[in-house]
Amino acid sequence: MRNSAARLCLIGLLAAASFGCVAHEGQLAVFLTTTSSTTSALAAQQVNLEVTSVEIWDNEERVFVNLAAGSQVYELVGLDGRASVLALASQLTRGYYSQVRLTFSQSRSSVVTDAGRRQPLSIEPMTMTVPVAFQVVEDAESSLLLDIDLAASLALKGNGTWVLRPIVRQGTLR
């Protein structure tokens, strides 16, 4: 009786695996931080960046996988030394991933000056791909930190317009 139950279990597992019912998935959390304490030299009290999508490149399937769609505004000056959740994926196929693609919007992106004046923020480019290297492990939680170098990314042009040319790299979670 015990042998036949074990055989049925094995047959069920084999059938599920051959029909793709057994998932080889893990979880991923993507965080955003900034490294800059020199934004005060640019007279920026706040830098608000609107992110509209976060995607990662699946090396095996050779496609971008959408992790987060919908608009979220991040206040970058306040993230200096802190991390904020950018995207969460609870069922991501295990494997190696090598790129993150971020899409921004200017509609709610802005700069608040030291004088308290809110000004529009121009973002160039609106979509960018960041090289990263991380692995999603089956039945485990993985995390990825994206670090924006705010001092190198933010500029105030001579005509008074603010421009963000994001310099983003993979950071290290502590």
Residue 90 inside a domain? The answer is: yes
Rounded to two decimals, what is the model's pTM? Answer: 0.82
Residue 107 inside a domain? The answer is: yes
Q: Report the 10 Å Cβ neighbour count for 166.
A: 20
The CATH number linked to 81 is 2.60.40
Residue 3 inside a domain? The answer is: no
Residue 98 inside a domain? The answer is: yes
- Please count the structural domains in the chain: 1
Residue 15 inside a domain? The answer is: no
Q: What is the pLDDT of residue 64?
A: 95
Residue 40 inside a domain? The answer is: yes
Residue 10 inside a domain? The answer is: no
Q: What is the pLDDT of residue 105?
A: 97
* pLDDT tens digits, one per residue of 133-173: 999 998 899 999 999 999 899 999 989 899 999 999 999 87
- Residue 166, domain extent: 24-170
Residue 19 inside a domain? The answer is: no
Q: Does 115 score more than 70 pLDDT?
A: yes
DSSP for the chain reads -HHHHHHHHHHHHHHHHHTT-S--EEEEEEEEEE--S-GGGGTEEEEEEEEEEEEEEETTTTEEEEEEEEEEEEESGGGBT--EEEEEEEEEESEEEEEEEEEEEEEEEEEEETTS-EEEEEESSSEEEEEEEEEEPTTSEEEEEEEE-HHHHEEE-TTS-EEE---EEE----
Residues β-bridged to residue 63: 58
